[in-house]
Every structure is written in structure tokens, then in C-alpha cells.
Structure 1
Amino acid sequence: MGEDSQGNVLLGQGQYSQMVRFSHGVRTPAVSWVWGGASHATLSMSPKPLKSLSGIPLVQITAGGDHSFALSLSGAVFGWGKNTAGQLGLGDTNRRAPAPVDCLNLKKTVLISCGGEHTAVLTKGGVVFTFGSGHYGQLGHNSLRDELRPRVVGQLCGFKVTQIACGRHHTLAFVRPSNKIYSFGRGEQGLLGNGVKIDQSVPLPVQLPGDCWSALKPSLMTKHIGVWKKALSVILRRKHSTHL
């Protein structure tokens, strides 16, 4: 997901689909366009308007392997596409059009990240929900079961999570003020940063160098954290694209 400097354009990219959202001010309804080829959503080889989201103020659009999400200004969450592992959080079948994830309506969602077949949601209070495929432990629930509806990652309760990012089969969470990164899911190629290549079904701290944060002056630390947060999604998206 990306946004231009004036906040008028939102971009979303998945394995098979692309999305763009144009907003020309409060007097002109915002319009979302989608394109690409996928068997689980009504897409095309050229951009088509996503009429069901027309006029709804959005702050984020994002996509995974075969599923997509949109987050409204009011905190409403809409999902569509493939749902065979529960990655839409709707507890049922695939959706060809955006459907509200009603169980998240009162959670004050601020960020959504999509993996290959799983999804992570972050609330304003720093609580993390995950759902979808748990085959590699990427949901962080100490099990390999799929979750058809959003479930709180219990191991992160009590922490102030401020950023989340999903790779194809793994998930990362950034915690303030401890400045720790927690990882869980598939461990191939050292993606979890724990020094080994095994899967992990609960969030554990990434093994960063001891002087990773201490080398920064307090005045610079906030700046570097902000840069890291923006770069993290880009890095994971590249890894995600590489492994697809």
C-alpha cells in the first residue's frame, strides 16, 4: 500500500491484483479501481471501478496472494477474494465483492497487512488480530490451525504493538517502547531472524545486534524507527514477490 504526498492516491498490490484509489477532495466522491487476473475475484485485464466502495473514505488498501482488504476512515474493514483458509475473517466462502468484517467494527483498526493466505490487523490500542492459514505458525497462536475469524495474538497482549507486516508465510510485529521486533511463521532462509531455519508458531524477539538501538542518539531514534517502519513493508513485499 502506498500514498502520494497529498494523500489523494492509495495503491495496493497483491500476487495477482492491483488497486488504486483516487480522491479529489471532499466535494468529489473517491473512486477505487481494480485490475488483474484471479479466479477468486471479479477482476479484468484493464482497470474496473470497484463500485461497492465508491464514496467511502479509505485510509488503506492492501492485497495478499488472492485476497484484498480496504480500511475506511471510520475504522471499518472490508475484505474480498479467496477465503479458503479464512483469510478474509468472514468465516465462510470466497467473496467476489468487498464485504464488511463486522467483528472488527468496534476494534478501532488502524492497519491491515496481508500474507499469502493469512491476514494481520492492528488496532489503535496496539492489539494484533490474525486469521487465515496457520500452516506454518504465521498466526502466532501456538498452533498450526487455520482461523476463520479474527483472533487476538495472545502472546503479544500487554505490549504496545505499533507496526505489523506479513510476508508470504510469516508475520512481524514491532513493539514500543522496547523497540523489539517479534517474528513468527515459516523460518525458511532465515526469514524470522532467530538464527535458525525452523518454523515458529509463537511471537519471539528477532535477534538484533546488541548495539542496534543504543548506537542511536535519542533525538535520532524516533526518526530511524519511522524510516524502519516504512521500509519494513517494502522489504517484506519484495520477499513476498520473490517467493511467489
Structure 2
Amino acid sequence: MPRKKVCAGLWEEGSGNGAARPKGRKKAGARGRKRGRGDRSSDEDDRDGSPGPDGGLLASGNKRGGAAKSPGKAQALVIITEPEHTKEKIKLEGSKFSGQLLIFGATNWDLIGRKEVPKQQAAYRHLGQNLWGPHRYGCLSGIQVQTVVSGPCAAHSLLITADGKLWSWGRNEKGQLGHGDAKRVDAPKPIESLSSEVFVSAACGRNHTLVLTEGPSLKIKHAASPHVWNQDLAQSLSASTNPPPVKREILYNGQPITKVSCGAEFSMIMDCKGNLYSFGCPEYGQLGHNSDGKFIARSQRIEYDCELIARRIAIFIEKTKDGQILPVPNVVVRDVACGINHTLVLDSQKRVFSWGFGGYGRLGHTEQKDEMVPRLVKLFDFPGRGAVQIYTGSTCSFAVSETGGLFFWGATNTSRDSTMYPKAVQDLCGWKIRSLACGKSSVIVAADDSTISWGPSPTFGELGYGDHKPKSSTTAQEVKTLDGLYIEQVAMGYAHSLVIVRDESEQEREKLKKLPEYNPRTL
């Protein structure tokens, strides 16, 4: 059954929390987005339960039905607004460290996750290569990098320099790089239109990007394709036009935002008061509003009501052994991490909540059921066993406990058994984990003075083991090519890894100079 995503345009004021709630919906028209064969994304060949080209489960072919709903009358969008005199006056700061950026993995950005390069990108077919070991970017010589981001379904990346400037590169078919066009960029390039801003953090989805500026007047820029959500936000582009990609400030006027995170086709933002807001595609209940937004439209098409503006997640629950559902009060969110179709939250009491797509046990609730609202992960709800860090991959989740142990649930290798609830990663017992990132199926960790990675075949160099070395590993292995280098932060895209290396001492700088330099060919 063909599926289609349609963006909801009707809202009414929420009760008590300033959130906008859907009141009805528009008919699926020119602004709806049909997912057909021509709209395949970076994980189009997945067989891991993540959405395929028709939004269904590629592994099982099971397309979930929904009750038919009738469209309503259009109403104005209601934006979350906080009176100016009650807003906190804060100024965000970026990472306190900086260093040199290294890359390894797949760099043919238009081929990543695909069997062949799309026709419109045919000119780039032979650009890029698999880097099996760490390389320095020639264009970043002398540039101190403070933060680097990508995502488990992203074929693009961003970096923030020590002076708060934003650079981007990679796949750009939907304008997710923010350069005002849809041209692929093979090496990091500064975003000139945002050169007057100072940035502190960012997040990458499959085809969209969120970036966060410092205070006191916080802004969020959304670099994405108008054909996904921005077209509907602007309400000014017809279906027949092909406008250039645009950067937009998100429709939000609440408390200052302190954290942003992106799933494949949805986004989360967290304010300084610990409230969490979501917008985008509601499939699998991944927005946390107790609905998957699904309805059956004409010709038996399954469609989804996309949330166009940030809406507060108001309910957190726990389930008892006998199936009773209880609300969890006083949840103050301190961190958020998004996978392709699921989300983890860490609160002020070191509890972990998860919701969204439940396939392969990635939610940690001992079952594969989708969760429509944030549900407490029981393991971390005990004194002395709380979590202090959370991370998400495509089909898995990680948490670092307050005692320093790393816990894993879900699956990195979907052809093997899944881990249905959090289990300690014995290979990393005793390591002090500083940073962790996941790709499509690979994992990289910065711990103590080492870098550790693992991932099943096929890999494309993102593990960093080097030329003429094993290309994959199902167990955690130290990355010997980075021996003697202290890694401040790691990030991973669909099939590439990025690390920030400390370069304070002369010895560290000398070791960095011995690494090969990567200067990609361009058209």
C-alpha cells in the first residue's frame, strides 16, 4: 500500500503547557509528500526494520494499517510563546576543548547507503573514496575544531570552529548543508550566510540539519529541503516550483533552547527549564505525543500528519510488571538523543526514558512494541544505578551509568539476536568513556587514552583500522592507527567517522603531521 506524509495545518491551544495540539487536518494535496521509488533515502537498502521507500518494514513487508479519518477545516498555527519577562537570560557556551579534525570511512557522499548514484548526481559518481585509516583534511590546516556532528542516517556533517563558525560538507540533495543550493560539497566549507552568528551545537538528520546559536537571544536555524517541511512552514511555495533550499528560524518563542537532536525525519529541542519539544514526522509514535499520526486517505493510501511546529512532550510513563501504566511526575529533561526512529531522554534524576519504533529491542523494554510516549527504562531507576550519558544508533541505544559502566540494547548486526534490555558491555568494563557515536551499524568510542571501534561487515573504513587490516569486527578493538593521540570527541555518520584530536603538545602535533592528508577531487 503506498504511503504518503502530509503536514498537519490545524491546531488548537494546548492546556497547561503552552503546547499546540492538532485539532483537525488538511486534505493531502500539493503540500503532502508521497514516498515513492524516486524518493529513496540514505538507508534505502536497509533490512533492519527502519523505514524503507514506502515507509513500511522492509524486513517483514508488514505495513501497519490505521483507522480512516476525515479532514477538517484549516486553522492558524499556534506557536509556543513565553512572555519576555519570564524568559531566562542565558548565554550558551560551546565545548571547552578544541583540536584537529580527522576523517575515515566512505566519502563518496551520493553513493553511501545506495546501490548506485542517482541520475541527477551522476557527475559525482567517481568522486570520493573509502578511507581505511585516519586522514587530515587539507582545507582545515591550522583550523581549530570545537565540535563535529553527523548522524546514523546522515551522509553529511557539520563542524564548529573554536571561534564559533559553522562549516558543512557531504550530501546536499535537499539543501541540508545550508549553502543555499543543492550541490554536493566534498570537503568542509564555511557557511557564508551565517558568518555573523556564533554557534554552539548542531544536529544532523537524514536530509535536514538543526544548528543552535549562543545567547542571550537564541536562534535555531533549520537547513532543510522546502519539499519536506519548510515548504509548509512558509506556506508560499507551490508544488510545481523547485525553489532553492533555505535556512529558516524555527517557529518557537518559548524559553531559550539548550540542546537539539535529529532523527531521520523528526527533530527534538530542549529548553533551559528541562522541557522537551518535538516536530516532524510522527510515524511509530516517535514524536512522543501518544499518536503515530496515521490515517487512511483516498485510494487506501496511508498518510501521516506531520507536526509543523514544536510541540511539548507532556506525558512520561512507566509500566508495571502486571501491565499497569502509571504517570511519572517531575521529569526535568537534561539530555536527549535521537536514532532513526526512536529517542532516548536522560532526566535530572538520572532516569532514562525511550519511545518510538521498538524493533530489535532498541527501546530497552524487553519487547519490540512501539511506544507512543516516553516510557521509563527500568534498569536505571534504582539508587546508584542511574545514567549520566545517553547515545543512540540506527537500531540500538547506549547509556553510561553513574558507576562508569557502558550499557547496550538493541542491535548493531540485525542478522543476529537482539538485546532486548540494557546489558553491560563487558569488553569495555573498566574504561572511562568520554565520547561515543554510532553509524548505520558501527560504533566508535573515545575512552581513557584509546579509541575503540567495532561493527559487522560490510564496513567502508569507518572503523579506522587502516589499509591491509581487517575491515570489520564484531568485538570491540582498539584503533591502532590512532595510538598516541588523545581523542576529545567522536562523531559518526552512516558510514564515516570523525574525530577531534588534541594537539596541544609538540609531540601530538608531530604525530598528526605523519597522518596522510586528504584533499578530495572536485568537479
**Which letter does structure 1 place at the counterpart of 2:496?**
H
Structure 1 residue 193 displacement after superposition: 6.2
Residue 16 (structure 1) aligns with: 341
Distance in 2 between residues matched to 1:71 and 1:195, nearest whole Å: 37
Distance in 2 between residues matched to 1:137 and 1:13, nearest whole Å: 24
- Residues 85 and 36 from structure 1, CA distance in 2 versus in 1: closer, same or farther, beyond 3 angstroms? closer
Residue 52 (structure 1) aligns with: 379
Once the two structures are superposed, residues 181-217 of structure 1 have per-residue CA deviations (whole angstroms, 9 ceiling, x without a partner) of 9x9xxxxxxxx964149xxxxxxxxxxxxxxxxxxxx
**Which letter does structure 2 place at the counterpart of 1:64?**
G
Contact 1:137/1:144 (8 A) holds in 2? no
- SS class of match (1:96): strand
- Which structure has more relative contact order (CA 8 Å, sep 6+)? It is 2
Which of the residues 125, 132, 136 maps onto 2:455? Answer: 132
Structure 1 residue 146 displacement after superposition: 2.8
Paired residues in the alignment total 179
Residue 212 (structure 1) aligns with: none
**Which letter does structure 1 place at the counterpart of 2:395?**
D
- Residues 154 and 37 from structure 1, CA distance in 2 versus in 1: closer, same or farther, beyond 3 angstroms? same
- SS class of match (2:497): strand
Which of the residues 71, 93, 98 maps onto 2:400? Answer: 71
Structure 1 residue 82 displacement after superposition: 1.4
Contact 2:435/2:488 (8 A) holds in 1? no
Residue 111 (structure 1) aligns with: 435
TM score, norm. by length of structure 2 = 0.31
Structure 1 residue 144 displacement after superposition: 6.0
**Which letter does structure 1 place at the counterpart of 2:359?**
S
- SS class of match (1:122): strand
Residue 424 (structure 2) aligns with: 100
Distance in 2 between residues matched to 1:99 and 1:146, nearest whole Å: 23
Structure 1 residue 67 displacement after superposition: 0.9
Structure 1 residue 123 displacement after superposition: 0.9
- Structure 2 gaps, min length 5: 1-202, 204-258, 260-269, 275-332, 362-367
Residue 228 (structure 1) aligns with: none
Which of the residues 140, 147, 151 maps onto 2:473? Answer: 147
Instruction: Answer 1 or 2: which has greater helix percent.
Output: 1
- Residues 148 and 36 from structure 1, CA distance in 2 versus in 1: closer, same or farther, beyond 3 angstroms? same
Contact 2:407/2:425 (8 A) holds in 1? yes
- Residues 93 and 146 from structure 1, CA distance in 2 versus in 1: closer, same or farther, beyond 3 angstroms? farther
**Which letter does structure 1 place at the counterpart of 2:461?**
G
Structure 1 residue 70 displacement after superposition: 0.6
* 1:175-194 to 2 correspondences below 5 Å: 175-177=501-503, 194=519
- SS class of match (2:360): coil
Structure 1 residue 133 displacement after superposition: 3.3
Once the two structures are superposed, residues 47-94 of structure 1 have per-residue CA deviations (whole angstroms, 9 ceiling, x without a partner) of 2110012232322111111111111233210111113269xxxxx731
- The alignment yields a C-alpha RMSD, in angstroms, of 3.2
TM score, norm. by length of structure 1 = 0.63
Moved more, 146-155 or 40-49: 40-49
Identity %: 25
Structure 1 residue 38 displacement after superposition: 3.5
- SS class of match (1:112): strand
Larger radius of gyration: 2
- SS class of match (1:131): strand
Residue 158 (structure 1) aligns with: 484
- Residues 5 and 76 from structure 1, CA distance in 2 versus in 1: closer, same or farther, beyond 3 angstroms? farther
Distance in 1 between residues matched to 2:518 and 2:386, nearest whole Å: 37
- SS class of match (1:46): strand
Moved more, 59-68 or 170-179: 170-179
- SS class of match (1:40): helix
* 1:173 and 2:499 aligned: yes
- Residues 114 and 160 from structure 1, CA distance in 2 versus in 1: closer, same or farther, beyond 3 angstroms? same
Once the two structures are superposed, residues 161-192 of structure 1 have per-residue CA deviations (whole angstroms, 9 ceiling, x without a partner) of 111111111101111115769x9xxxxxxxx9
